[in-house]
Amino acid sequence: MGIFDLLNGPDINEGLKEYQAEPRAVLLDAREADEYAGGHIKGSRNLPLNRFMEAESMFTDKSLPIYVYCHSGGRSKRMAAGLTKLGFEKVVNIGGIMDYKGELER
């Protein structure tokens, strides 16, 4: 993370490049199910913030790289912190889908 990230927050488009370079990585959408159904990044899995503890049963390998996004970056930031507290070793908040420049899957 550079100084630009500290001032402006994570860049979802850059974060997705990093995610795509990690063969075992998981992409989580921290929004609610209805938001996810309205459009999400292809290959992402929906795990709303209020259910983040379910990640422990979904992913037993704590070394699995997890990249998290939401609408604007707030929920993904909180989820990333929660997943880290659960013991996941590489959790990256990539920010909000509102800044995503690609196509959404519905």
Question: Would you state the pLDDT for residue 8?
Answer: 66
Torsion region of 88: left, alpha or beta (phi above 0 gives left; psi -120 to 50 gives alpha)? beta
In the chain the domains, ranked by start, together with CATH numbers, are: 3-99 (3.40.250.10)
Pairing label, strands 45-46, 26-29: parallel
Token duo for residue 35 = 């938001």
Hey, what are 58's tokens?
A: 């979904």
pLDDT tens across the length of the chain (106 residues):
444 444 567 999 999 999 999 999 999 999 999 999 999 999 999 999 999 999 999 999 999 999 999 999 999 999 999 999 999 999 999 999 999 999 999 9
Displacement of CA 53 from its chain's centroid (Å)? 14
